Amino acid sequence: MPRPYLRSGQSCQLFSKETKSPRVTEVRTMSYNTHEVENKWQRTWSEARVFEVEVDPSKPKFYCLEMFPYPSGNMHMGHVRNYSIGDAMARFQRMMGKNVLYPMGYDSFGMPAENAAKKEAGHPHSVTERNIAMIRADQERMGYSYDWRRMFATSTPEYYRWNQNMFLKFFEAGLVERRFAPVNWCNDCDTVLANEQVKNNRCWRCGLEVVQKDMAQWFLRMTEYADELLEELDKIEFPENVKAMQRNWIGRSQGAHIDFSVVGSDSVIGAFTTRPDTIFGVTFLTLSPEHPLCEELVSGTEYESAWLELRNECARMTEFERINMLKEKKGVPLGRFAKNPLSGEEVPIYAGNFVVASYGTGAVMAVPGHDQRDYDFAKKYGISVRPVLSRERDGEAIEENPVFDGLGWMINSNRESFDGLHGNEAKEAVISALEAEGTGHGTVQFRLKDWLLSRQRFWGTPIPMLHCDDCGVVPVSLDDLPVELPLDVKFSWEDSGNPLATNQEFLEATCPQCGKNARRETDTMDTFYDSSWYFMRFADSNNIARPFDPDKVNYWMEGGVDLYIGGIEHAVMHLLYARFFTKATRDLGMNLVGEPFGRLVCQGMLNAPAPFCVKCNSEYHVENFGGDCPNCGGKLSTRSVKMGKSLGNTISPGDMISKFGADTVRLFILFGANPEAGMDWSDSALEANNRQLNQIVDAFKIGSNIKSSPSDMDNWLLARLLDNRTRWTEAMDDVSLREGVMISHFEMLSDWQWYRRRGGSHAPTINRFLSSWAEMMAPATPHIAEEFWESLGGLGLVASNTLSEISDLSVRDWSEILASEEYLRDLIDSARNLKVLAQKHSDIPITKMVVQTALSWKAELAYEAVKLSRTNFDFKTKGQEYLKNLKIFEKESMRGEIFQTWMAMTAGSKKKRGRVNTWSEGQKNLVLGHFDETSVINKNSSFIASSLQIDTVVSYSVGDGEDVAGKAKVSFPLEPGISFI
RNA sequence: GCAGAGGUACCCGAGUUGGUCAAAGGGGCCGGACUUAAGCUCCGGUGCAUAGUGCUUCGCAGGUUCAAAUCCUGCCCUCUGCACCA
């Protein structure tokens, strides 16, 4: 049973306040008081608590989440786009009857708060609190439907105590490690960085060049999960580029670890290679200049100084120099030799600037015969080249440049049984031989490193560990959590480093093992740790006994977050950490799911115009608009580039809301581009969307004040409603928001306008149409939709209702009324074009249109053709035979014309397909139903006449009147001959 | 160099299981209606031709097909990520 969706006897008061102004009554477009409307509904929603949800196993759940923001002050347009997408989907899924979890929180630990605190000599805590209040107010102003009860900030002890709690559990499980390691250090930020946070050897945050330091650091053993992280990428619904980036980052490569013993020494050089099948082609080894063995090998020899020079050069090089220098491969001999474990050959050892210390073992077995880089190196230093793979079976291995680096057949092995093996078989044979002789083994190498977790910063989660002189490194006991950050800390530019390190009160602790004094760890956690599990906390935000209740998490997280929306910049870091974390907590028994995110949508860039110099190919700050290029003095043009502070081409959401209202901003954002696509900011497009919204307001105003009289158009309107809503539901379900909004905010309006133009005016139909329309508008423009809903007397709130039932419409066959209207539209369209042409042949203005519809035998033929086409009749082979047996075909004089018509209907010509293939279902129904074109045209003659701006329209079947302008011959079923007088 | 995404009319942008595609929608521009007047709203136009179903077009060049924006091959260009990764 369809749910009743209207209260009876409602009078319409839609925006009656607006009509007070005498000016407005003249203006045909209604505008509305956005602030009043938006405030009113935001208040109503909040009071009715419609967005508050709880676990309810009887309903399907939908977890809609946006990457929570770092609170840096006011909300910016990128946020607006992110949340407008999420909110539309959350609201849509609620309408679809889902139990929707849609939370918001703040990722509030991090460096910027420290810097701000220094600037104003305050505390990061107060800076953060203030910023959270600002961004939250902005979010509320946009009307986002969050369950605010679940809100939290990660910088509160209520949250970060669970960071610590889980850290200790990871520690117990052996996932935490403290070790000395060469780390990436940023002088500006005064802290180490994880590998993921170094971009082109620069700090991801401040851009300063990263230097290497050796320090004791805390690691999370993410590499334990490397395989699973890689393999499950195939199963999850991430965009391809994100998957590619993660695969790239994890960088699994399969190969062999091979030990080369150093001649005249006990040392062994382990090398990783993906091509063990080329082992017989090794003619030298290359170590990274930093390799510890280098020093040992050259110490006290004539080679020492050259090596030292190379090592120092590599160590002090800036990034720019390094890139430049690496165009040239450079190396020095170390004066020693290593023994190839399979061939027994002794090959020279080099140090090379191109060998990366941190990848693999920092040593490369060089095969110049089959590796381009090794080949170039060998040629430069006069080292021999030995090809050991052939392109063909039983072929030769030849030295060539560029080298052959594909898989081939082994040859020139100086041991039995290897020659003739190919590709993977060859690799396996070599590995088995190495394993049998204890000189190597098959192995997998990852580019992914363990997660370097510790930061030497204040504003983060304190790592809950203690340093005891007697017991060493000891975990804080679970009962002593949280280890809180002290609030009585002053920040200033003079003090560099971590204030925790000098805070006596914080530092002093008691060792839980021996009871003596201990020193607290002063490193805090990388803030990516905070965001690696926040989505699970949202399932149970206010739990004070544990991070989250497993039952709640398992309900909400089943299959992962259903829709996760955020920026592509987190493709590797956040998304990889969170995936790892979820698997780790799963293995601790805290949750069932292993992959945190189901469908991931990465919103596109938001661009805005900025001055641009074509010649210099660079963009400038907006203050240069109208001026000349600061670089070359040439004329500046405009280009759309990513919105950002550096160019000043930002748009303030607050200003836009004040000017046009939240609904217009949301409509613009959603209509401007699909979520994944980049989008350009345009003031004129924003204004156009505002006009569109005002037109809709106008439609509702007219629609609820109508004199009622039924007509055929009512069925048409309901048919359009059914079609639109079906397509809308599909589009929205697929997160194709642009398409969804196009239907709900554009096509619905133009259908409404056509209905009105055609004289539609029936209150029950209109009510039905408008109330469904109000629902369809709710995800994108919720405030105005709610206003419409109320004015129509709808029950409850659109925000909490499920979509009203329209299945009663779908049982009816609307194709004929749709086709008939389409016929009329097409007729007017072609007549309009023809009229222009006809006018050229006439000296006096055209006043009359004559429409000659096709003769009945043509309609009969069409009927036969359509009927046959429904049975998958093969017109090509059997069509002519069928035609010849028809009664009409008996008239010999007409056979030529009949044949032509039949062919046009069925087989078509080379260039045009037969009508049975091109007619829509509705058109076919018209043909089958013996659609009376003449009477439809005559019935609508005055409408057609006014559309075409002529006086009279007459229609008759060919032969029933004068053949004006000889148009009888072109008449065809559904394509009448049209002439103008 | 490797990987991923792309190149559609003045602009943005849909369309890519081949056919109803001269190609949705929006912006801009143009015309008409309404109006004292519009920056509002409504109707229409916006490749060329034409009293009609014709021609040319979807980065460039070929190919498959009765039929290509859509499929295949090669090339050019743009964006993004990774990069002496062994």
640-699 on A, CB < 7 Å from strand B:
673-674, 677-680, 682, 684-685, 687-688, 691-692, 694-695, 698
Q: Which residues pair with A332 in a beta bridge?
A: A351
Whether the pLDDT of residue A153 is over 90: the answer is yes
Averaging pLDDT over each range in A8-17, A440-449, A556-565, A702-711, which range is the top one?
A556-565
pLDDT of residue A887: 75
Task: Determine which of A77-91, A538-552, A963-977 has the lowest per-residue pLDDT on average.
Answer: A963-977
Report the percent of chain A where pLDDT is more than 70.
93
Q: Who among residues 183-202 of A has its Cβ near strand B, under 7 Å?
A: 199-200
pLDDT tens digits, one per residue of A757-794: 888 889 999 999 999 999 999 999 999 999 999 999 88
CA–CA separation, A531 vs A535, rounded Å? 8
Percentage of residues of chain A with pLDDT beyond 90: 32
Measured CA to C1', what is the nucleotide nearest A256? B86
Q: What is the pLDDT of residue A200?
A: 66
Per domain, the residue ranges of chain A are 16-20+684-812, 253-445, 606-661+672-680, 817-980
Select from A154, A147, A125 the least CA-distant residue to A533. A154
10 Å CB burial of residue A56 (0-12, 13-18, 19+) is exposed
Angle at A363 between CA A357 and CA A366, to 5 degrees: 135
Whole-number Å distance between alpha carbons of A179 and A482? 24
pLDDT of residue A282: 93
Confidence check: pLDDT of A492 > 60: yes
Q: Is A920 helix (H, G, I), strand (E, B) or coil?
A: coil
Q: Does residue A12 surpass a pLDDT of 60?
A: no
pLDDT at A614: 63
Residue pair A657/A80 in contact by the 8 Å Cβ criterion: no
Q: What distance, in Å, lies between the first and last C-alpha atoms of chain A?
A: 55
| A127-138 per-position pLDDT tens digit | 999 999 999 999
Which of A203-207, A390-394, A748-752, A960-964 shows the highest mean pLDDT?
A748-752
pLDDT tens for each residue of A408-424: 889 888 888 888 888 88
pLDDT digits (tens, 9 = 90+) for A61-102: 999 999 999 998 889 888 999 999 999 999 999 999 999 999
Q: Which residue has the higher pLDDT, A349 or A925?
A: A349
In chain A, residues 100 through 129 whose Cβ sits under 7 angstroms from any atom of nucleic acid strand B: none
Tell me what the mean pLDDT of segment A342-346 comes to.
90
**Residue A732's CB: how many other CB atoms inside 10 A?**
25
- Is any atom of nucleic acid chain B found less than 7 Å from the CB of residue A975? yes
Separation in Å, CA A336 to CA A261, A384, A641, A863:
11, 16, 56, 94
DSSP summary character for residue A53: -
CATH of domain A253-445: 3.90.740.10
Which pLDDT score is estimated for A325?
A: 54
Give the model confidence (pLDDT) of A708-728 as tens digits: 888 888 999 998 899 889 889
Whole-number pLDDT of residue A141: 94
Place of tokens 């829709």: A563
Is the C-beta atom of A617 closer than 7 angstroms to strand B?
Answer: no
Q: Is the pLDDT of residue A663 over 60?
A: yes
Confidence check: pLDDT of A23 > 80: no
* Residue A613: band (very low, low, confident or very high) from pLDDT cuts 50, 70, 90: low
Q: Measured over all CA atoms, what is the biggest interatomic distance in chain A, rounded to whole angstroms?
A: 119
Q: Which nucleotide is nearest to A966 (CA to C1')?
A: B51
Q: Could you tell me the distance in Å between the CA of residue A678 and the C1' of nucleotide B69?
A: 22
Q: Is the CB of A492 under 7 A from strand B?
A: no
Determine the average pLDDT of the residues in A565-581: 89
Q: Is the CB of A757 under 7 A from strand B?
A: yes
The reported pLDDT for the residue numbered A981 is 83
The residue-averaged pLDDT of A277-283 equals 91
Determine the Cα–Cα distance for residues A164 and A462; give it in Å rounded to an integer.
8
Average pLDDT of the segment spanning A124-129? 92
Tokens at A356, concatenated: 């990366």
User: What is the pLDDT, as a whole number, of residue A822?
Assistant: 84
Domains A16-20+684-812 and A253-445 agree in fold: no
Give yes or no for residue A22 having a pLDDT over 60. no
- Asked if strand B contacts A324 at the CB level, meaning under 7 A, the answer is no
Q: Which helix (H) or strand (E) holds A867?
A: helix A856-869
Q: Who has greater pLDDT, A958 or A2?
A: A958
Amino acid at A878: K
d(CA A316, CA A312): 6
**CB < 7 Å to strand B — which of 244-263 in chain A?**
244-245, 248-249, 251, 253, 255
Q: What is the predicted pLDDT for the residue at A15? A: 43
For the cut 90, the answer to whether the pLDDT of residue A682 exceeds it is no
Scan for tokens 């004929």, then name that residue.
A816
- Residue A28 banded pLDDT, cuts 50, 70, 90: very low
Q: Which of A71-85, A394-408, A525-539, A953-967 has the highest mean pLDDT?
A: A525-539
A810 or A540, greater pLDDT: A540
In this structure, what DSSP letter does residue A364 have?
E
CA gap A494, A482 in Å, rounded? 30
Q: Could you give the CA distance from residue A768 to residue A946 in angstroms, rounded to a whole number?
A: 29
Q: What was the pLDDT predicted at A31?
A: 66
Q: What are the pLDDT digits (tens) for A789-844? A: 999 988 999 999 999 888 888 778 787 888 888 888 888 888 888 888 888 787 77
Task: Please enumerate in sequence order all residues whose Cβ is within 8 A of that of A733, keeping only pairs 6 or more positions apart, or say none.
Answer: A92, A96
What was the pLDDT predicted at A317? 60
> Of all nucleotides in the shown strands, which has a C1' nearest the CA of A362?
B86
Judge whether residue A502 has pLDDT over 50. Answer: yes
Name which of A574-578, A851-855, A895-899 the model is least confident about: A895-899
pLDDT at residue number A617: 62
Class of the CATH domain delimited by A16-20+684-812: mainly alpha
Rounded CA separation A197/A12 (Å): 59
- A910, pLDDT greater than 70: no
Evaluate if residue A16 carries a pLDDT over 60: no
**Is A63:A556 a contact under the CB 8 Å cutoff?**
yes
Q: Which of residues 779-818 of A touch strand B (CB under 7 A)?
A: none
Mean pLDDT score across all residues of chain A:
85
Lowest mean pLDDT among A190-194, A526-530, A874-878, A928-932: A874-878
Most confident listed range (A23-27, A226-230, A422-426, A566-570) = A226-230
Query: What is the Cβ-side half-sphere exposure of residue A878, based on CA atoms within 13 angstroms?
Result: 8
A27 has a pLDDT exceeding 60: no
pLDDT of residue A2: 35
pLDDT at A343 over 80: yes
DSSP code per residue over A815-829: HHHHHHHHHHHHHHH
The answer to whether A890 CB sits below 7 Å from nucleic acid chain B is no
How high is the pLDDT of residue A911? Answer: 67
pLDDT digits over A227-273, tens only? 899 888 888 888 878 888 888 888 888 889 999 999 888 889 999 99
Q: Is the pLDDT of residue A873 over 70?
A: yes
pLDDT of residue A529: 94
CB within 7 A of strand B (chain A, 355-384): 355-357, 359-362, 364-365, 371, 373
- Between the CA of residue A395 and those of A227, A730, A820, what are the distances in Å? 38, 59, 74
